[in-house]
Chain A
Amino acid sequence: MASRQALRAVAVLGLALVFLLVTLPATGAPAFTPRRPVEWTIPAGTGGGADIQARFMAPLIQKYNLAPQPFIPVNRSAGAGALAFSYMIEKREDPHQILITLDNLFFTPLNQEILMPDRTRFGWRDLTPIARLLLDNFILWVHADSPWRTLADFERAVKAAPRGAIKMSGTGSRQEDEIIMVLLEQTWGVKFTYVPFPGGGQVAAALVGKQVEFTVNNPLEAVGHWEGGRVRPLAIFASKRLPDPKWRVIPTMKELGVNVEYQMLRGIFGPPNVPTEAVAYYQVLFRRLLDTPDMADFIERGGFDKAFLAGADFVRWLEQKDAVVRSLMEKAGWIK
């Protein structure tokens, strides 16, 4: 009797061991899967580029069954992202928190002092980089009724106009739109007037309504107005033309002899000190998400560059990006 019981116990134990070995990942580290809904912070308001992207991707994660828990987008737009970053700082080590970025991740901590718990100044390095997903583009748009058919026309007009007579609307202040404008000013030796608006939709509306002469709206923000024949793209601020036939007609600034280039990071970050297993989990998830047909369609329509990058390469890229932003802000005289 006793021996049979012992035998059974051994068998059960053995089976359990086999189960354990099978379920453990090859690396031996305990794998991460979300046990509760993942909160997805958007450091911008509803209706903007980052918002649209997060709200587009969140249901796709469920549709393609990429995670056992839902991803819940939450807008924390206050202070040009400052509120979102402090929220992430508070959620230190929490693997159920992620953040989608726009470039205010680089600009805002330089524009204002956001403090870490140890009273040091916050910078993007305090967050956990997970992956770069897309690069968003900037295009110089003028009104379709304007006489400027090419960038050369525009440049001539700008140089002939009195200082500040040509106006540009842009999102926020001392962020990516304004820095691109400053770059143009310095390249051409001219002065524009910058009119800040709270969101990309209103920025585009100001151009369509002829309140301003040009914008550097993202493709997604202006594509409807372009199709409707109200605005005209003159050049894209990317290193090469977009591959999609619709966008390919737009020349790059560089090929037109204007050395101004800028792209915005659409990436994923976690709070400070997220466990590496969780980082690896999200990297795999977003890489698979990017390869879905829905994302391919979104990337094409929105004029994005598909640009997955993770790990050390991503960090290296971030360092370069940070150096660029700093030098641009110094050139603009915004920081010393």
Chain B
Amino acid sequence: MLLSVFDDLLFGLGVALTPYNLTVGIIGLVLGTAIGVLPGLGGTNGIALLLPLTFKLQPASAIILLASVYWGAIFGGAITSILFNIPGEPWSVATTFDGHPLAKQGKPGMALTAAFSSSFIGAFVSIVLFTFFAPPLAELALKFGPPENFAVLILALATFTGLGGGNPAKTIFMTLLGLLLATVGFDIVSGQPRMNFGQVALQSGVNFIVIAIGLFGLGEIFLTVEEGLRLEGIKGRIGFRDLWETWKLLPRYFATLVRATILGFWIGVLPGTGATPASFMSYGLAKQFSKHPERFGKGEVEGVVAPETAAHAAGIGALLPMITLGIPGSPTAAVMLAGFFIWGLNPGPLLFATNRDFVWGLIGSMYIANVIGVLLVLTLVPVFASINRIPFGILAPLIVIMSSIGAYATNNQVLDLWIMLGSGVAGYVFKKLDYPLAPLVVALVLGDMTEQALRQSLIMFQGNPAVFLGRPIAMIFLVAALALFALPAIQTFYRRRRARISQPAEVIG
């Protein structure tokens, strides 16, 4: 059994390494990185745009091209997140939390290196898991229905309770605001528009990437303008020394890397979730488990490592149910799945037997494309980092233009430009008043999915909330979520007690 896997893998590497497929893969990586850099034009849209072009390719070459675009987009998404605080992709929103502060402290090279390297580690370990355990993992993923998905999403929200840091009331306010925004749009359960104020354009909902571009990207620019054009990144030292220095740090985050990889991979495998929730969960968990949670959000390398590792692991994981079952594990995988029909393949478990070069060619190309991809982006680190040396007066308008194109591209509608601008102003005001932005974005992106999963679960069991009691997998996650919700309170309680024991007589003067 194991030997046959090695056999297949060697065969797949052979398919991926033919000069033609290698070229296709590299073209895909370059395109994908560019797509990742452009905010809004996400990997999902990019792949949908390229799909018609794959018509003339062999299926194996076509899937290698699209998958390589995906890997490139995952690598590339981190670049603008770190440099400009503008998430290039939905899954790199969490990367802005610590990546951009690092860049502002003059360490853009370090942040980029950490992002690319950890992204690669997450990808590589996931590909190995994919190669050897794809069929049993797919079976396990099928056991996850709406109740289990709901439990996982609640756990994701729970990891973020402590994210606000300072004032709990402000965190709760921002979370609720995010949940409220998540309700705008179209309710698939009743089939009716909801909270759209009669605007058809609002039926697509408030797109969280548009909000994130505004809150983080534009908000940041407004702040910089006010603070008198100080971008500390300008003085940042640029060179390959960053690489070694960052790599020396990475072993310190071994536990986070392992956790983020496994978590990301598994969230990716589950149908209907994808890399975005995985990256947020991983960031939240890293902070919860950290000895220095207060450093998060201020330029902690671990805060870049956690979401990037998970996002790329989830990207790989999302292709697992697509290949083994013909079920999309993420929105991006859903588009690739549409490609199967275009190439004349019926997705499903038979692919392994009937289209060996397609399935194993894809798996082989995952190894090769990710190795080439990480080398490509790492060599470009000094180039990317030097972008911060461009004077703010030139850079800011460029960033605004790029953000606008990105916001428009998410839904092809002008309304999103206004939403972006509005959230830019809101982002500035919130920053000034010291309201945390992350809980809003997390609630917005997870709120919709969580609501849907909860309502599906309740519908399935005629509105009986006891549905979760009968589902052991869901119960485990819900109990873990409850523990996480309670954790901050318990921690403060213990700290106070310990403090009281060690310093019994404190004189208040």
A47 to B191, CA, bound (A): 20
Asked whether, in the complex, the Cβ of A52 is within 8 Å of the Cβ of B55, the reply is no
A223 to B345, CA, bound (A): 11
Determine how close the nearest CB of chain A comes to the CB of B173; give it in whole angstroms: 28
Q: Write the A56-97 contact mask toward B (1 if CB under 8 angstroms, else 0).
A: 101110010000000001111111101100100000000000
Chain B 327-341 interface residues, beta-carbon cutoff 8 Å to A: 327-328, 331, 334-335, 337-338, 341
- Return the contact of B348 from the options A45, A58, A209, A224 (Cβ within 8 A): A224
Asked whether, in the complex, the Cβ of B350 is within 8 Å of the Cβ of A55, the reply is no
Determine how close the nearest CB of chain B comes to the CB of A71; give it in whole angstroms: 9
A167 to B462, CA, bound (A): 10
Number of interface residues of B (CB under 8 A): 57
Q: Given A47-B334, A201-B337, A224-B347: A59 and B462 within 8 A (CB)? A: no
Asked whether, in the complex, the Cβ of B459 is within 8 Å of the Cβ of A195, the reply is yes
Chain A CB within 10 Å — which of B141, B192, B452 has the most? B192
Q: Given A51-B338, A86-B200: A196 and B142 within 8 A (CB)? A: no
A229 to B326, CA, bound (A): 13
Asked whether, in the complex, the Cβ of A80 is within 8 Å of the Cβ of B191, the reply is yes
A193 to B467, CA, bound (A): 15
A58 to B192, CA, bound (A): 31
Asked whether, in the complex, the Cβ of A211 is within 8 Å of the Cβ of B145, the reply is yes
Asked whether, in the complex, the Cβ of A56 is within 8 Å of the Cβ of B191, the reply is no
Asked whether, in the complex, the Cβ of B191 is within 8 Å of the Cβ of A173, the reply is yes
Residues in A lying within 8 Å of B, measured CB to CB: 45-47, 51-52, 55-56, 58-60, 63, 73-80, 82-83, 86, 111-112, 114, 164, 167, 172-175, 193-199, 201-202, 204-206, 208-212, 220, 223-230, 297-298, 301-302
Q: Tell me which residues across on chain A come within 8 A of B335, comparing CB atoms.
A: 46-47
A60 to B51, CA, bound (A): 12
Determine how close the nearest CB of chain A comes to the CB of B353; give it in whole angstroms: 10
Q: Does B144 have its Cβ within 8 Å of any Cβ on chain A?
A: yes
Asked whether, in the complex, the Cβ of A56 is within 8 Å of the Cβ of B272, the reply is no
Chain B CB within 10 Å — which of A195, A205, A208 has the most? A205
Q: Tell me which residues across on chain A come within 8 A of B327, comparing CB atoms.
A: 201-202, 204-205, 208
Q: Given A55-B48, A201-B328: A228 and B349 within 8 A (CB)? A: yes
A227 to B271, CA, bound (A): 20
Asked whether, in the complex, the Cβ of A209 is within 8 Å of the Cβ of B191, the reply is no
A74 to B411, CA, bound (A): 10
Least CB separation from B461: chain A residue? A193
Q: Does B189 have its Cβ within 8 Å of any Cβ on chain A?
A: yes
Q: Tell me which residues across on chain A come within 8 A of B53, comparing CB atoms.
A: 59
Determine how close the nearest CB of chain B comes to the CB of A10; give it in whole angstroms: 50
The 5 closest A-B CB pairs, nearest first, are A224-B348, A47-B334, A79-B203, A173-B191, A78-B204
A83 to B189, CA, bound (A): 18
Asked whether, in the complex, the Cβ of A82 is within 8 Å of the Cβ of B193, the reply is yes
Return 7 A-B CB contacts under 8 Å, by A number.
A46-B335, A47-B331, A63-B55, A83-B204, A199-B328, A205-B272, A228-B326
- Return the contact of A52 from the options B44, B189, B338 (Cβ within 8 A): B338
Determine how close the nearest CB of chain B comes to the CB of A121; give it in whole angstroms: 13
Q: Given A80-B186, A175-B191, A193-B462: A55 and B145 within 8 A (CB)? A: no
Determine how close the nearest CB of chain B comes to the CB of A310; give it in whole angstroms: 25
A173 to B194, CA, bound (A): 14
Q: Does B172 have its Cβ within 8 Å of any Cβ on chain A?
A: no
- Return the contact of B325 from the options A78, A194, A208, A302 (Cβ within 8 A): A208
Q: Given A83-B203, A111-B192: A209 and B51 within 8 A (CB)? A: no
Asked whether, in the complex, the Cβ of B52 is within 8 Å of the Cβ of A224, the reply is no
Asked whether, in the complex, the Cβ of B146 is within 8 Å of the Cβ of A195, the reply is yes
Determine how close the nearest CB of chain B comes to the CB of A238; give it in whole angstroms: 20
Q: Tell me which residues across on chain A come within 8 A of B200, comparing CB atoms.
A: 78-79, 82-83, 86, 114
Chain A CB within 10 Å — which of B331, B342, B350 has the most? B342
Residues in B lying within 8 Å of A, measured CB to CB: 44, 48, 51-53, 55-56, 141-146, 185-193, 196, 200-201, 203-205, 271-272, 321, 325-328, 331, 334-335, 337-338, 341-342, 344, 346-351, 411-413, 452, 456, 459-460, 462
Asked whether, in the complex, the Cβ of A75 is within 8 Å of the Cβ of B48, the reply is yes
Asked whether, in the complex, the Cβ of A78 is within 8 Å of the Cβ of B185, the reply is yes
Chain A CB within 10 Å — which of B53, B186, B347, B452 has the most? B186
Least CB separation from B459: chain A residue? A195
Least CB separation from A114: chain B residue? B200
A172 to B187, CA, bound (A): 9
Asked whether, in the complex, the Cβ of B456 is within 8 Å of the Cβ of A209, the reply is no
Q: Tell me which residues across on chain A come within 8 A of B452, comparing CB atoms.
A: 198
Asked whether, in the complex, the Cβ of A76 is within 8 Å of the Cβ of B412, the reply is yes
Asked whether, in the complex, the Cβ of A197 is within 8 Å of the Cβ of B456, the reply is yes
Starting from the known contacts A194-B459, A208-B142, A211-B145, 9 additional A-B residue pairs (CB-CB under 8 Å) come to A47-B337, A56-B342, A201-B326, A201-B337, A202-B327, A205-B272, A206-B145, A208-B327, A301-B346
Least CB separation from B345: chain A residue? A224
- Return the contact of A298 from the options B51, B271, B331, B341 (Cβ within 8 A): B341
Least CB separation from A41: chain B residue? B412
Asked whether, in the complex, the Cβ of B459 is within 8 Å of the Cβ of A193, the reply is yes
- Return the contact of B44 from the options A46, A112, A199, A208 (Cβ within 8 A): A46
- Return the contact of A198 from the options B188, B201, B325 (Cβ within 8 A): B188
- Return the contact of A225 from the options B44, B55, B201, B326 (Cβ within 8 A): B326
Determine how close the nearest CB of chain B comes to the CB of A314; give it in whole angstroms: 26
Q: Given A83-B204, A172-B188, A206-B145: A55 and B338 within 8 A (CB)? A: yes
Q: Tell me which residues across on chain B come within 8 A of A164, comparing CB atoms.
A: 462
A112 to B201, CA, bound (A): 14
Least CB separation from B271: chain A residue? A205
Determine how close the nearest CB of chain B comes to the CB of A233; give it in whole angstroms: 14
Q: Given A83-B203, A175-B191, A196-B189: A227 and B338 within 8 A (CB)? A: no
Q: Tell me which residues across on chain B come within 8 A of A173, comparing CB atoms.
A: 187-191
Q: Tell me which residues across on chain A come within 8 A of B205, comparing CB atoms.
A: 78
Asked whether, in the complex, the Cβ of A78 is within 8 Å of the Cβ of B203, the reply is yes
Q: Tell me which residues across on chain A come within 8 A of B348, comparing CB atoms.
A: 223-228
- Return the contact of B456 from the options A51, A195, A228, A297 (Cβ within 8 A): A195
Q: Given A47-B334, A201-B327, A205-B325: A220 and B341 within 8 A (CB)? A: yes
A77 to B413, CA, bound (A): 12
A21 to B433, CA, bound (A): 74
